[in-house]
Structure 1
Amino acid sequence: MDYFKFNNNQKPGKGSLLVSEPFLPDPNFERTVVLLCEHSDEGSFGFVLNKASAVSLDEIVEDIRDFSQPVYIGGPVQQDTLHFIHKADYLEGGMEISNGLYWGGNFEQLMILIDTKQIKADDFRFFIGYSGWGADQLEEELKADSWIVANYATPELVFNENGENLWKVVLKQLGGRFNVYSNYPTDPRLN
């Protein structure tokens, strides 16, 4: 029955957003939006954008003072690692994900910029861990209708949207039947 098919048939790529289908049973990805930083035949890699942790950056990096940016849970893989995305095209080594949106870069330079208050905190988002898929794994999850693909990650959407509302906002922007999905209750028994 087509009514229960969630996949929108868009192909994922670097800079795409993966939106979890409304009733995805995996607690790591329930009602999440993942920004894909890499997607190739070898696998895929990205960060959950809307799952805040209970810590701030200055609590987990000793050398940082007066920079209490929230840290997000990027995914279930290697949660002992710290990653970041940003809008700072001047940061050396940053890899462009999409127009004006970068991943990583020279961490020592970033630390100096933070210490000397030369960056805008709102231009950065930090993550513990990441989301990763092996070769063909994401494609299999797409065939199983676990994800909806949105091919329009913009710095404005990634950095300005309230994390708690991001899942609904992206679905509404996709329009049509996805707008309806954005209003599904968390627990279908409550419908």
Structure 2
Amino acid sequence: MVTLSPGILLIADPFLKDPNFARTVVLLCDYQEKGSFGFVINKLFDQTLSDLVPEVLISNIPVYYGGPVQMDTIHFVHRHPELIGGGQEILPGVFWGGRFDHVVDAINKGLLEPNKVKFFIGYSGWTEGQLDEEVKEKSWILSDTDTSLIFERREQQIWQQSLKNLGSTFAMMANYPIDPSLN
């Protein structure tokens, strides 16, 4: 049984109507009694990294909507601890954060592999007990992380694939309409 902890995926229930989280998958980066946070990994933001950070010289690096909290901040997860110091390992070989100047330098030198780093604007956060309550209410389906999904660039497939990875019972849910009354 999967329990709340850093590195797991929170898969939105098919009928979750919250516009911030409908059909999303959140990578949980920190889980503590006082609160938790993570990043939506499958919701593309409408600007690229170079639009948001002028020092970045490469113009086609996507940014994802990490969540509705602090939409004036940029975060990242990566698989490049040898290039980016100061990150926190949340899964074997997957790190959250680190020195942003190292990231910009590595990007501008062409050293970062696009399938090993993902950028987010804002984050998803929960206050003390809030995430536990949402899980009890069945707003979220918990899953061990398939690390390939974290860095997947075809964001529209991540939610469905996350459910399919859980087996046939959940795979059926991947095709449920958002509002069954409209069927």
Identity %, equivalent residues: 45
Counterpart of 1:141 in structure 2 is: 134
> Quick one: which amino acid aligns to residue 189 of structure 1?
S
Per-residue deviation at 1:187?
2.5
Indicate which of 159, 162, 169 corresponds to 1:170: 162
Indicate which of 20, 25, 32 corresponds to 1:28: 20
Is 1:151–2:141 an aligned residue pair? no
Counterpart of 1:63 in structure 2 is: 55
Root-mean-square deviation (Å) = 1.3
Is 1:105–2:86 an aligned residue pair? no
- Say whether the 8 Å CA contact 2:152–2:158 is kept in structure 1: no
- Moved runs in structure 1, 4+ residues, more than 2 A? none
TM-score between both structures, scaled by the size of structure 1? 0.90
Counterpart of 1:16 in structure 2 is: 8
Counterpart of 2:119 in structure 1 is: 126
- Say whether the 8 Å CA contact 1:37–1:45 is kept in structure 2: yes
Counterpart of 1:6 in structure 2 is: none
Counterpart of 1:79 in structure 2 is: 71
Report the number of matched residues: 182
Unaligned runs of 5+ in 2: none
> Quick one: which amino acid aligns to residue 113 of structure 2?
K
- Say whether the 8 Å CA contact 1:15–1:37 is kept in structure 2: yes
For 2:114 and 2:135, how far apart are their aligned partners in 1?
34
Per-residue CA shift, 1:109-146, capped at 9, x if unaligned? 11111222222233211000000001110000011110
TM-score between both structures, scaled by the size of structure 2? 0.94
> Quick one: which amino acid aligns to residue 160 of structure 2?
K
Per-residue deviation at 1:153?
3.9
- Say whether the 8 Å CA contact 1:17–1:33 is kept in structure 2: yes
